[in-house]
Amino acid sequence: MEPIIVKYVEKPELHDPVLIEGLPGVGNVGKIAAEYLRDKLNAKLMVEIYSKYLPPQVLMKGDGTLYLVRNELWYYRDESGNRDLIILVGDYQGMSSEGQYELSYRVLEIAKEFGVKRIMTLGGYGTGKLADTPRVFGAATNLEIVEEMKEYGVYFSETEPSGGIVGAAGLLLGLGMELFDMQGVCLMGETSGYFSDPRSAYFVLKIVKEYFRLDMDMEDLEFQSNEISELTTQFKEEEKKEAKKEDLGYIG
Amino acid sequence: MEPIIVKYVEKPELHDPVLIEGLPGVGNVGKIAAEYLRDKLNAKLMVEIYSKYLPPQVLMKGDGTLYLVRNELWYYRDESGNRDLIILVGDYQGMSSEGQYELSYRVLEIAKEFGVKRIMTLGGYGTGKLADTPRVFGAATNLEIVEEMKEYGVYFSETEPSGGIVGAAGLLLGLGMELFDMQGVCLMGETSGYFSDPRSAYFVLKIVKEYFRLDMDMEDLEFQSNEISELTTQFKEEEKKEAKKEDLGYIG
Amino acid sequence: MEPIIVKYVEKPELHDPVLIEGLPGVGNVGKIAAEYLRDKLNAKLMVEIYSKYLPPQVLMKGDGTLYLVRNELWYYRDESGNRDLIILVGDYQGMSSEGQYELSYRVLEIAKEFGVKRIMTLGGYGTGKLADTPRVFGAATNLEIVEEMKEYGVYFSETEPSGGIVGAAGLLLGLGMELFDMQGVCLMGETSGYFSDPRSAYFVLKIVKEYFRLDMDMEDLEFQSNEISELTTQFKEEEKKEAKKEDLGYIG
Amino acid sequence: MEPIIVKYVEKPELHDPVLIEGLPGVGNVGKIAAEYLRDKLNAKLMVEIYSKYLPPQVLMKGDGTLYLVRNELWYYRDESGNRDLIILVGDYQGMSSEGQYELSYRVLEIAKEFGVKRIMTLGGYGTGKLADTPRVFGAATNLEIVEEMKEYGVYFSETEPSGGIVGAAGLLLGLGMELFDMQGVCLMGETSGYFSDPRSAYFVLKIVKEYFRLDMDMEDLEFQSNEISELTTQFKEEEKKEAKKEDLGYIG
């Protein structure tokens, strides 16, 4: 069996396309953002990727039928003349170090075929804390992009993320710059990392929208984001009350 | 060494054969069902599969001799003109993600040689509970098969199995539909998952028997199944008594 | 890098040689027996095997120099006209399932070059108990060898070893019989499995000596074996005393 | 994707060069020593190595940009006519047994291209204790080098390191001597193994400096080393006081 099997559903001509990645990861921030993007832009499926580097698993569609776990590339043709997008989503990332490298490399090979020179990877930055307003951290392949992204409110830190970036969000950029002459940035939404975090995804996607000047409805994600905000606020108030009670307890 | 070594014992001409899989797994439901099927139908050994993806192990036959762990294909020629069967059994499934993919893919290649277009995989669905009457859950490659199998009492759920199907029972269908143009269904007998469960296998195999209109004696498996039923009933009564005692204890 | 690198030190003409394996394992029984055999027979080094399936490690010789971990084949030419021996020893077995298969397969390829048709693997059978006189269990590739080895006091059980034989001792026989047309037997000395067990190795090697009618001094191994016997006796008496004390304690 | 990707930045002509390795490991002793050596000698980058055997990770440079984890070879041309040096440093060692072998083998192939016949690997020897003055242990490929290095104060023990040397520091020598006709020595600075240990690195590097008669400023490393010395002294005194208090406690 070929370690990675690529099925082309369509081979569109694309205009200076940017590869946007959002695979499962910390807080599923990248996955939520990229799948929302795909859905709202009515992107079209172009490539399916099956691989022994993914888990040996099928998933249920909900109607009694199943499908093999996969990664997919979807394309969005921008009618207003901006750059087109290729969106990478999937059920899993590669399950081993080798699998991570092989899958990212293969995606870059495909991206190159379609003329990709620029990459934007989306992910979460797990802090273990509930942030009031999640910042979006950045890490870029060169200083020009650092400066460019700062203008969109992306936060570049001297020390964070201290452990670097593990997985596809980092590897696509690392392999891309060293071996494919591509440049790009990773946007990481601050998240506790304890649950799937649409609020963090919302803040990440707002930057994506603004950067690519996309005409995209953000309402649904904003709604989910607000729900998380309320839960966070409630949770923090509970914590404060709890803390007060304990204080009183000591006094009484 | 070839990663997978296939030894053809016989290359029979088969009539529109269906591949039936029953390898070790949750509650060994699939294994028990498939091996019972093989034995009662007097199926004949056609292929032996050795592989470095299986454990580095020999097993004892009971007479002082040993054999290398393996997967096997057995065939059953249906005299009444129905479809023939190819039955996949074995000591183990592949030990790694890669091994799972490679072994399932190789089995599908062999199945294709013999004209297989339809697959039925058998397994257990672990619920952690002792069911009074185990349901048989299904997951199919397309909606026609979902509808067809519902008529045989197979239970299709919108939400279960929530984690999908891991291992050969899922992968043979997933790879089969995407890469080999095969269709099929996975039948999963409800089981606690805590022990080898012939009762669950009995309910799975009853559907297999009816579906293929097999003239097969189910008595031995029914006997084992009844033993499990009695143990389950006893166990549940013990639990009730225990609960009552505790209640009385609180009152007294 | 070649996954397995074979260095031929010498390519002797051998008379109907038997491959004897003794790699590290349960109680190091096989390793102790095979290395003792090699030393006492003044066997000669013929093949060195290096591999990425072994640990990435060098070991110390004790004089400040190091050597790369390896497996080795040594040969013994029997002057009295009996069959010659090829003895497989080493620092480690393969570290993964794949490594186990690949290394055993490669050893069998080499063994075939030198005309090997018969294999005898040596190992320990861990029981978790200190046996008074360790039995030697057997597992053979066919019934003729079972009968033959019974005459030498080898114990063949219907149920043991219940988990089969894991590792090179099993795999050389399993792959040998299925793919290389070789036959043989595994001799497993009963051992607690808690420490390196020269006593178990002594009982295994006594059978090897008798079977091949070797003119071999067993004194050193017998000495180490007696030391273990004494320790075992002491330990068991301590246990009895301890048990008695506790009994008295309850009375008093 | 090639499992190991080698990018030549420069292909210098070198004079009888020695390969010096210092990758991350116990106490990071080798890494600290080799990177200090590279920096103080103003060595020049000659080769970058990317590999799927390294973690799927990018690291941050501190200015908002990232780089793909890698190993690197740097060269130092000795103006006084001594042997030139090739220094191997990196973010990680290979993540698996296979990766360790493949990466070390590849480095040796590259080293051979540039005429390397001699290797010196640097590492830590973890003792779990805070040594007053860390010894430097040695392990060489042959007795001549053992004798030679003793003159520089390297300590060769009959029994240590008892577990041999695991990883690149051992493997480069083991593979080098068996397959590349190279000779060499591993210098291991005694270290607790509980933290990054510049003091142990200092003592290792002092020997390297003396051996190659390098005109190298050791001040910075000596400064860091002294800091560790002071912390060690403080820690030991705290321990003594603590022990005294407890003694008094028992008396009082």
Query: pLDDT tens digits, residue range A138-158?
Result: 999 999 999 999 999 999 998
8 Å CB contact of D66 and A171:
no
Q: Which helix (H) or strand (E) holds A21?
A: strand A18-21
Taking the Cβ of residue B9 and every Cβ of chain C, the question of whether any pair is shorter than 8 Å is answered with no
Please count the residue pairs, one from chain C and one from chain D, whose beta carbons lie less than 8 angstroms apart. Answer: 90
Query: Can you tell me which residue has the tokens 């591993």?
Result: D186
Residues of D within 8 A of A157 (CB-CB) are: 64
Peptide bond into A161 cis (omega under 30): yes
Minimal CA separation from D61 to chain A, in Å: 8
Q: Which homologous superfamily does the CATH classification assign to the domain defined by A4-218?
A: PAC-like subunit (3.40.50.10900)
B122 touches B204 (CB < 8 A): yes
pLDDT category of residue A250 using cuts at 50, 70 and 90: very low
Taking the Cβ of residue C69 and every Cβ of chain D, the question of whether any pair is shorter than 8 Å is answered with yes
8 Å CB contact of A68 and B105:
no
Residues of C within 8 A of B95 (CB-CB) are: 97
- The first and second tokens of residue B157, run together, are 């759920």
Q: Which helix (H) or strand (E) holds D222?
A: helix D219-251
Minimal CA separation from C91 to chain D, in Å: 12
User: How big is chain C, counted in residues?
Assistant: 252
Residue B20 to residue B118: CA distance in whole angstroms: 9
8 Å CB contact of B68 and C167:
no
Residue A36 to residue A201: CA distance in whole angstroms: 9
Where residue C215 falls (left for φ over 0; alpha for ψ -120 to 50; beta otherwise) is beta
Mean pLDDT of A182-200: 95
Domain covering D4-251 in this structure, CATH number: 3.40.50.10900
Q: Between the CA of residue A92 and those of A40, A52, A190, B23, C28, what are the distances in Å?
A: 22, 12, 21, 25, 42
The three-state secondary structure class of C74 is strand
8 Å CB contact of D56 and A159:
no
The three-state secondary structure class of B186 is strand
8 Å CB contact of D52 and A101:
yes
Residue C123 to residue C189: CA distance in whole angstroms: 6
Fold of B4-221: Rossmann fold (3.40.50)
Residue among A159, A167, A179 whose CB faces D56 most closely: A167
For the ranges B159-173, B216-230, D183-197, D229-243, the lowest mean pLDDT is seen at D229-243
Please count the residue pairs, one from chain A and one from chain B, whose beta carbons lie less than 8 angstroms apart. Answer: 90
Domain covering C4-219 in this structure, CATH number: 3.40.50.10900
Residue D74 to residue D78: CA distance in whole angstroms: 13
Taking the Cβ of residue D98 and every Cβ of chain C, the question of whether any pair is shorter than 8 Å is answered with yes
Chain C interface disruption, residue of B65, B70, B93, B98, most C CBs within 10 A: B65
Taking the Cβ of residue C1 and every Cβ of chain D, the question of whether any pair is shorter than 8 Å is answered with yes
Q: Between the CA of residue C250 and those of C4, C245, D136, what are the distances in Å?
A: 62, 9, 57
8 Å CB contact of D50 and A179:
yes
User: What are D229-251's pLDDT values in tens digits?
Assistant: 888 888 888 878 877 776 655 44
Q: What is the pLDDT of residue D246?
A: 63
8 Å CB contact of D58 and A165:
yes
Residue D83 to residue D100: CA distance in whole angstroms: 27
The candidate with the shortest Cα–Cα distance to D199, out of D99, D151, D130, is D130
* 3-state DSSP of A84-95: CEEEEEECCCCC
User: What are D161-215's pLDDT values in tens digits?
Assistant: 988 999 999 999 999 999 999 999 999 999 998 899 999 999 999 999 999 999 9
Taking the Cβ of residue C166 and every Cβ of chain B, the question of whether any pair is shorter than 8 Å is answered with yes
DSSP class of A65: B
pLDDT category of residue C9 using cuts at 50, 70 and 90: very high
Which residues are CB-contacts of D242 (< 8 A; sequence separation ≥ 6)? Answer: none
Q: What is the pLDDT of residue D99?
A: 98
Q: Which helix (H) or strand (E) holds D19?
A: strand D18-21
Query: How many of the other CB atoms lie within 10 Å of CB of A222?
Result: 16
8 Å CB contact of A65 and B143:
yes
Where residue B62 falls (left for φ over 0; alpha for ψ -120 to 50; beta otherwise) is left
- The first and second tokens of residue C61, run together, are 């010789």
Strands in chain C per DSSP E: 4-8, 18-21, 44-51, 57-60, 66-68, 71-76, 85-90, 118-126, 136-140, 165-166, 183-191
Question: Which chains does chain C touch, 3 or more C-beta pairs < 8 A?
Answer: B, D
Q: What is the pLDDT of residue A252?
A: 41
Q: Which helix (H) or strand (E) holds A75?
A: strand A71-76
8 Å CB contact of C1 and D146:
no
Residue A108 to residue A225: CA distance in whole angstroms: 32
Q: Between the CA of residue B194 and those of B124, B126, B129, C221, D203, what are the distances in Å?
A: 11, 8, 9, 46, 58
Strands in A81-234 per DSSP E: 85-90, 118-126, 136-140, 165-166, 183-191
- Mean pLDDT of the residues in chain D: 94
| Closest chain B residue to the Cα of C142, Cα to Cα | B65
Mean pLDDT of B29-36: 98
- The first and second tokens of residue A209, run together, are 């929208």
8 Å CB contact of B164 and A52:
no
- Mean pLDDT of the residues in chain B: 94
Residue D47 to residue D52: CA distance in whole angstroms: 17
Query: How many of the other CB atoms lie within 10 Å of CB of C229?
Result: 15
Q: Is the pLDDT of residue C252 over 50?
A: no
**B85-90 and B18-21: which strand pairing?**
parallel
D203 touches C29 (CB < 8 A): no
Residue B104 to residue B167: CA distance in whole angstroms: 9
Q: What is the pLDDT of residue B251?
A: 43
Mean pLDDT of B102-124: 98
Domain boundaries, chain B: 4-221
Q: What is the pLDDT of residue A43?
A: 98
Taking the Cβ of residue C236 and every Cβ of chain D, the question of whether any pair is shorter than 8 Å is answered with no
Residue among A164, A166, A168 whose CB faces D60 most closely: A164
Q: Is the pLDDT of residue D221 over 50?
A: yes
Residue C192 to residue C195: CA distance in whole angstroms: 7
Residue C218 to residue C33: CA distance in whole angstroms: 10
ipTM of the complex: 0.92
Q: What is the pLDDT of residue D251?
A: 44
Note whether D touches A: 3 CB pairs or more under 8 A. Answer: yes
Residue B47 to residue B75: CA distance in whole angstroms: 9
- Residue percentage of chain B with pLDDT more than 70: 97
The candidate with the shortest Cα–Cα distance to A25, out of A160, A186, A158, is A186
The candidate with the shortest Cα–Cα distance to C13, out of C75, C69, C105, is C75
Residues of C within 8 A of D175 (CB-CB) are: 50, 68
Q: What is the pLDDT of residue A246?
A: 63
B185 touches B138 (CB < 8 A): yes
| Closest chain C residue to the Cα of D146, Cα to Cα | C64
Taking the Cβ of residue A8 and every Cβ of chain B, the question of whether any pair is shorter than 8 Å is answered with no
Residues of C within 8 A of D106 (CB-CB) are: 1
Chain A interface disruption, residue of B105, B178, B187, most A CBs within 10 A: B178
Q: Looking at this protein, which amino acid is placed at residue D87?
A: I
- The first and second tokens of residue C47, run together, are 């093949």
Chain D interface disruption, residue of A53, A101, A151, most D CBs within 10 A: A101
Taking the Cβ of residue A9 and every Cβ of chain B, the question of whether any pair is shorter than 8 Å is answered with no
8 Å CB contact of D56 and A141:
no
Taking the Cβ of residue A54 and every Cβ of chain B, the question of whether any pair is shorter than 8 Å is answered with yes
Taking the Cβ of residue C58 and every Cβ of chain D, the question of whether any pair is shorter than 8 Å is answered with yes
Residues of D within 8 A of A179 (CB-CB) are: 5, 50
The candidate with the shortest Cα–Cα distance to D130, out of D193, D83, D37, is D193
| Closest chain D residue to the Cα of A95, Cα to Cα | D56
**D98-D183-D190 Cα angle (round to 5):** 75
**B66-68 and B118-126: which strand pairing?**
unpaired
Q: Is the pLDDT of residue B169 over 70?
A: yes
User: What are C122-176's pLDDT values in tens digits?
Assistant: 999 999 988 889 999 999 999 999 999 999 999 999 888 988 999 999 999 999 9
Minimal CA separation from A139 to chain D, in Å: 5
Minimal CA separation from B50 to chain A, in Å: 16
Residue C17 to residue A69: CA distance in whole angstroms: 51
Taking the Cβ of residue A80 and every Cβ of chain D, the question of whether any pair is shorter than 8 Å is answered with no
Residues of A within 8 A of B4 (CB-CB) are: none
Residue among D102, D142, D173 whose CB faces C58 most closely: D173
Taking the Cβ of residue D242 and every Cβ of chain C, the question of whether any pair is shorter than 8 Å is answered with no
Q: What is the pLDDT of residue A235?
A: 82
